[in-house]
Amino acid sequence: MTDKNQMTNGLTRRGFFQRSAGAGLAASALGTLILPASARAEPKRGGTLRVAKGHGSTTDTLNPATTENGFTIPLALGMHGFLAGVGVDGSFEPGLAESWESSADATTWQFKMRPGVTFHSGRAITTDDVIASINYHRGEDSTSAAKSNLEPILDIRAEGDVVIFELASGDADFPFQLTDYHLPILPSDNGEVDWRSGDGAGPYKLVEFQPGVVARLERYENDWDQNRGWFDQIEMLSIIDLNARTAALISGDVDAIDKLDLKTVGLIGNNPSIKVASVGGNQHYTFAMSTNKDPYTDQNIRLALKYAINRQELVDKILFGYGTVGNDHPIGPNQRFFNADLEQRAYDPDRAKFHLKEAGLDSLSVTLSAADAAYPGAVDAAVLYSNSAKGAGIDLTVAREPNDGYWSDVWMQKPFSAVYWGGRPVEDSMLTLAYSKGAAWNDTFWDNTRFNELLVAARAELDTDKRRGMYHELQAILSEDGGAIIPMFANYVFATKDTIGTSDFASNWDMDGERWMERWWFV
């Protein structure tokens, strides 16, 4: 694999980024894949695709600042246009911006807009729309989850058809920040974006949206990219109940579902009309402790809880082997700067008791909130955790929360809760989004001075060896001091009818990077 920071001599920044991003991330792009040869047929147009998703809530909106689950993410990626995207192989690929380049120190990035592209309303996309769309997440009063990743931006301006970003410090990974599903390019007027109308620039235009129920879309005939969006119509249903979702696939009421029951994957795969895929990526399941609320303000309490969980048991009994153990940080083993030298934390009730004593306690009672809306098997995982914690003198009560409204009423509201994260293609994005001081999605409310300073320094460091060392230290700090218990990384396991054509699957999100609307077709 070629190191991207050794490729800068004699190449434009655009060139080395295009060539190196794919090389650096392709190793994690496919994972384990069960895919019959019949799926390799050439794409063709037509038909209505019906997909049942294990996410969706009545509190969902079209506001990109609050996009957060496996229903609203593919909706955003299907109906909207983005400056750039993540390819199937993990590389950075053009979108509404047809090309890009940066200064030698990666503090200035220029994106040349693709000519002749329109929103679904027929209105031409302008550089003003781009600037307004990004600034929507940057304001002082912004509560957008993307705000923390955009904080390094000092200024955005346009020169002709080029949008220029000036950063406070260098960021070799900056183009990946603009692939975030929170950052669609929206129509604007005097700097104010319009997200309520649903007017987008993606391969599909929105016809109907009932939060927590259904979204219906139809193909946009004038899409700038005619090599995507093969279906005439899309119907995406929110079916949280796993049994109902699976039954809908088996009966033929839907063509694809996500988040399979891992206990019965083998039985489903034996059905000749169904194809099952298992894709290894950066998805991980967590139990988030609010470090700003007692007793989780005490690092020893956090460590006691980290040693009180049997990680391998969760991988075996919740993931049924479709995943790997985690080490209380969100960087996956296939990522560029994964710290393989960090000691793997294991179930150790004696060490848990030691940390309880360091906190001045002989025992501990806590409540863990969970629902299968967090991830399939989250309640069962919490129960297993409760059982293992008893050996460490910890009384862990599982609070079974309602599925509907879980992400608005429980996540970041209750002090200890089950959470899933899809991961991000680059380390900085994930660490900034979920663990930097003040980030909207810092669901542990963690604030570690050394971590925050080092995160900024690592982002700007262009020497690969130095950067690797920085990210290794960041993972170590987070594992030891952070408020997230990360017991397992889970494969993406989903299924389609054999009438669905696909190519290789992306691993940056579930179901082909959640870009199934544009990438799949009927054979």
Q: What is the pLDDT of residues 277-292, one digit of tens each?
A: 999 989 999 999 999 9
Other CB atoms within 10 Å distance of the CB of residue 266: 10
Residue 111: domain span: 1-30+81-194
Q: Which of 147, 168, 194 is the last residue of a domain?
A: 194
Q: Is 361 helix (H, G, I), strand (E, B) or coil?
A: coil
At 457, which helix (H) or strand (E)? Answer: helix 449-460
Query: Averaged over 258-273, what is the pLDDT?
Result: 90
What 3-state DSSP class applies to 326? coil
pLDDT band at 39 (very low <50, low <70, confident <90, very high): very low
Which residues are paired to 113 by β-bridges?
Answer: 97
Tell me, what amino acid is at 471? Answer: Y
Average pLDDT over residues 489-500: 96
Secondary-structure breakdown of the chain: helix, strand, coil percentages, each rounded to the nearest 5: 30, 25, 45
- Residue 282 and residue 423 in contact, taking contact as beta carbons nearer than 8 Å: yes
We report the CATH number of the domain holding residue 113 as 3.90.76.10
pLDDT at 89 > cutoff 90: no
41 falls in which pLDDT band (50, 70, 90)? confident
Q: Average pLDDT of the chain?
A: 91
CB atoms within 10 A of CB 454: 18
Question: What is the mean pLDDT of the segment spanning 78-105?
Answer: 94
Q: What CATH number corresponds to the domain at position 73?
A: 3.40.190.10
What are the residues whose beta carbons fall under 8 Å from the beta carbon of 330, sequence distance 6 or more?
282, 284, 286, 421, 423, 430, 431, 434, 435, 478, 484, 486
Question: What torsion, rounded to 10 degrees, do the Cα atoms 347, 351, 353, 356 define?
Answer: -110
Which pLDDT score, from 0 to 100, does residue 10 have?
29
Distance CA 203, CA 381 (A): 38
At 237, which amino acid appears? L
Domain boundary among 194, 218, 235: 194
Phi then psi for 279, rounded to 5 degrees?
A: -120, 120
Q: What is the CATH number of the domain that holds 484?
A: 3.10.105.10
Mean predicted confidence (pLDDT) in 442-468: 95
Assess whether pLDDT exceeds 70 at residue 326.
yes
Whether residues 441 and 481 share a domain: the answer is yes
Same domain? For 338 and 263 the reply is: no
**Which of the two residues, 183 and 38, has the higher pLDDT score?**
183
> How many CB atoms within 10 Å of residue 87?
22
Binned at pLDDT 50, 70 and 90, residue 425 comes out as confident
Same domain? For 63 and 179 the reply is no
Same domain membership, residue 127 and residue 53: no
In this structure, are 115 and 150 located in the same domain? yes
Sign of CA dihedral 265, 272, 54, 433: positive
Residue 205 neighbours by CB under 8 Å, 6+ apart: 79, 120, 198, 217, 218, 219, 220
Q: Which residue has the higher pLDDT, 442 or 148?
A: 442
pLDDT reported for residue 40: 56
Kindly state the average pLDDT of the residues 38-56: 87
CA dist 156 to 13, 164, 522, Å?
Answer: 19, 6, 42
For residue 457, pLDDT over 90 is answered with: yes
Note the pLDDT of residue 9. 30
Average pLDDT over residues 442-447: 98
Instruction: Tell me: do 341 and 480 sit in the same domain.
Output: yes
Query: Same domain, yes or no, for 119 and 181?
Result: yes
Domain C-terminal end among 170, 194, 218? 194
Q: How far apart, in Å, are the Cα atoms of 201 and each of 116, 129, 231?
A: 12, 12, 16
| Residues 321 and 395 placed together within one structural domain of the fold | yes
CA distance 481 to 506: 32
* Per-residue pLDDT at 311 exceeds 70: yes
pLDDT tens digits, one per residue of 109-121: 999 999 999 999 9
Share of the chain above pLDDT 90, in %: 81
**120 and 6 in one domain?**
yes
State whether 116 and 233 are in the same domain: no
- pLDDT, greater one: 485 or 425: 485
**Cβ contact 431:330 at 8 Å:** yes
- Average pLDDT for residues 210-215, to the nearest whole number? 97
The stretch 354-373 carries a mean pLDDT of 97
pLDDT (mean) for 152-171: 96
Are residues 159 and 85 located together in one domain of the fold? yes
What residues contact residue 318 under an 8 Å CB cut-off, 6+ apart? Answer: 262, 377, 380, 381, 384, 488
Instruction: Quote the CA–CA distance of 385 and 487 in Å, as a whole number.
Output: 10
Q: Which helix (H) or strand (E) holds 214?
A: strand 214-219
Tally the domains of the chain.
3
What is the per-residue pLDDT across 7-38, written as a single tens digit (0 to 9) for each?
Answer: 233 223 333 333 333 333 333 333 334 444 34
pLDDT > 70: percent of the chain: 92
The interaxial angle of helices 464-481 and 449-460, nearest 10 deg, is 160
**Would you put residue 39 in left (φ > 0), alpha (ψ -120 to 50) or beta?**
alpha
What count of other Cβ atoms lies within 10 Å of the Cβ of residue 143? 10
Q: What is the pLDDT of residue 160?
A: 97
- The arithmetic mean of pLDDT across residues 419-435, rounded, is 92
User: Residue 64 has what pLDDT?
Assistant: 97
> Do both 58 and 94 map to the same domain?
no
Tens digits of per-residue pLDDT, 235-244? 999 999 999 9
The Cα 96–Cα 134 span in angstroms is: 14
Tokens 């900024």 correspond to 456
